Amino acid sequence: MRFLQGRIRDYPWGSRSAIPRLFSCPDAGEPVAELWFGAHPNAPSWVSSDPRMRAYQSDQCQPELMTLAELIEGDPHGMLGAEIVARYGPQLPFLLKLIAPNEPLSLQVHPSLAQAQEGFSHEEAAGISQQDPRRCFPDRNHKPEMVYALTTFEALVGFRSPRRILGVLTGLDCSIARDVRAIIAAQPNSDGVRQAFSQLISPDTRPAPEEVAELVAQCASRRETDSPSPRADALAVRIEDIYPGDPGVVASLLLNPVTLRPGEALFTPAGIVHAYISGLGVEVMAASDNVVRAGLTRKHVDVAQLLRITDTVAAPPIRIAAERISAVQSTFYVPVDDFELSIISLRHADEQVDIRGCGPRIILCLRGAVELWVGEEFFFINTGQAVFIAADDGAVQVRGAGELVQVESP
């Protein structure tokens, strides 16, 4: 077992306070958008046997320490187990993050495994370096993901039904609304939605900033009692304030708004357009950083790639309910093999209990103080500490009062 220090990702959309305050630290001077726990080459966690290591530390420079990627590379079968190595190669299959959007993330989609492999090979052949901002496929892996809300968490996920899109646009008397309504009314199916979405985000047909502003002004002026969707109107106004003139603001009206309460979870498979809006959550995904963007971003937008891999079939957001598998452990079972998330809630400090799981896993203590037995070894972990448990470390038992997050590959 090793203690982990997560790697801070200071993307501009991140909160300066949400993640530091979770671990009783002062607000950061820069955004702390994400805190990564894993072995992804872009930001592998630092590992140490020192029990004083914290999961969050503002000083990210630890050149004297080994990374989790290096630890696994030195003994892939011992760290991951023969079955994981056979399925995924000598790499940790999942990536655990804390994510804290303070403003909307980019409107984006993630590829399937086949699409990721094709996209990676194409960019490699084109000589696009890993550091090039045009790069959409830095690795060959798919990126299904799930977010577990720690606070109220808002998102846009997947396309509404054509009928509902027409309803949301009802009463908006401007050129964009009329164009989108005409396209979808002529083809009230996924093809019509794709055509409308393509027209909104493609360079040759996207609306001008003043057209976007006109639509948003009409959303803002509608009374709640007259609006088909006050929530969609308010969100468009909010996003326009951050990304003025961006056609992604209009596209938000085509998407399903989602609000998660603390303890609820949302799964997003490949091909689903989405954007996280605000909140604090635990995010777990296949070990990938492949992102294709459509808008609401200052980064590279690749419309052709996005349209190629986007699924425009109307579908409700996939909320995953946890299954209680023991008195202390609840597990979210997702329809992929790369990861599984469990929440361990401990209430009785004098009771030692088994934690179900196998193979390599990461355990993060969100609150409290817990005694942890791993095989024959004994450790304390407190709020703000994370550990990596190797496949050959043995069974895990805990005792204490607090809440833990465990991620593993089933």
- pLDDT tens digits along 269-293: 999 999 999 999 999 999 998 999 9
Tens-digit pLDDT profile for residues 83-116: 999 999 999 999 999 999 999 999 999 999 999 9
The fraction of the chain above a pLDDT of 90, given in percent, is 88
pLDDT score, position 165:
97
pLDDT score, position 393:
92
Residue 154 DSSP label: E
Check whether residue 11 and residue 135 sit in a common domain.
Answer: yes
pTM reported for the whole predicted model: 0.95
Check whether residue 287 and residue 141 sit in a common domain.
Answer: yes
Give 410's pLDDT tier (boundaries 50, 70, 90): confident
- pLDDT over 80 at 59, yes or no: no
Check whether residue 71 and residue 214 sit in a common domain.
Answer: no
Domain annotation covers residue 371: no
Domain annotation covers residue 208: yes
Contacts of 309 by beta carbon, 8 Å cutoff, 6+ apart = 109, 111, 112, 115, 270, 271, 292
- pLDDT over 90 at 337, yes or no: yes
pLDDT score, position 19:
97
Cα Dmax for the chain: 70
Measured between alpha carbons, how far is 230 from 251 in angstroms, rounded to an integer? 16
**H or E segment to which residue 99 belongs:** strand 94-99
Check whether residue 76 and residue 133 sit in a common domain.
Answer: yes
Give 350's pLDDT tier (boundaries 50, 70, 90): confident
Check whether residue 122 and residue 172 sit in a common domain.
Answer: no
Burial class of residue 299 in the structure, from the number of CB atoms within 10 Å of its CB (0-12 exposed, 13-18 middle, 19+ buried)? middle
pLDDT score, position 21:
95
Domain annotation covers residue 389: no
- pLDDT over 90 at 324, yes or no: yes
Q: Is 142 annotated as a binding residue?
A: no
What's the mean pLDDT in 362-374? 94
Tokens 């209680």 found at: 324
Check whether residue 7 and residue 76 sit in a common domain.
Answer: yes
Q: Which residues are tagged catalytic?
A: 293
Residue range of the domain that includes 121: 2-156+260-299
- pLDDT over 90 at 364, yes or no: yes
Domain annotation covers residue 295: yes
- Our count of domains for the chain comes to 2
pLDDT score, position 58:
77
pLDDT score, position 131:
85
Domain annotation covers residue 313: no
Q: Is 117 annotated as a binding residue?
A: no
pLDDT score, position 282:
98
Give 62's pLDDT tier (boundaries 50, 70, 90): confident
- Determine how many CB atoms are found less than 10 A away from the CB of residue 354: 13
Check whether residue 120 and residue 208 sit in a common domain.
Answer: no
Check whether residue 31 and residue 147 sit in a common domain.
Answer: yes
What's the mean pLDDT in 33-48? 95
pLDDT score, position 55:
93
Domain annotation covers residue 191: yes
Contacts of 243 by beta carbon, 8 Å cutoff, 6+ apart = 104, 249, 295, 296, 297
Check whether residue 145 and residue 65 sit in a common domain.
Answer: yes
Residue from 44, 46, 58, 14 nearest 32 by CA: 14
| Domain end call among 253, 286, 319 | 253
- pLDDT over 90 at 348, yes or no: no
Check whether residue 293 and residue 213 sit in a common domain.
Answer: no
The CATH number of the domain holding residue 75 is 2.60.120.10
pLDDT score, position 150:
98
Mean pLDDT of the chain: 94
Q: Is 145 annotated as a binding residue?
A: yes
The CATH number of the domain holding residue 200 is 1.10.441
Give 151's pLDDT tier (boundaries 50, 70, 90): very high
What's the mean pLDDT in 58-77? 87
Domain annotation covers residue 354: no
Check whether residue 128 and residue 197 sit in a common domain.
Answer: no
pLDDT score, position 315:
87
Check whether residue 116 and residue 225 sit in a common domain.
Answer: no
pLDDT score, position 205:
95
Q: Is 408 annotated as a binding residue?
A: no
Measured between alpha carbons, how far is 340 from 361 in angstroms, rounded to an integer? 10
What's the mean pLDDT in 376-388? 92
Domain annotation covers residue 249: yes
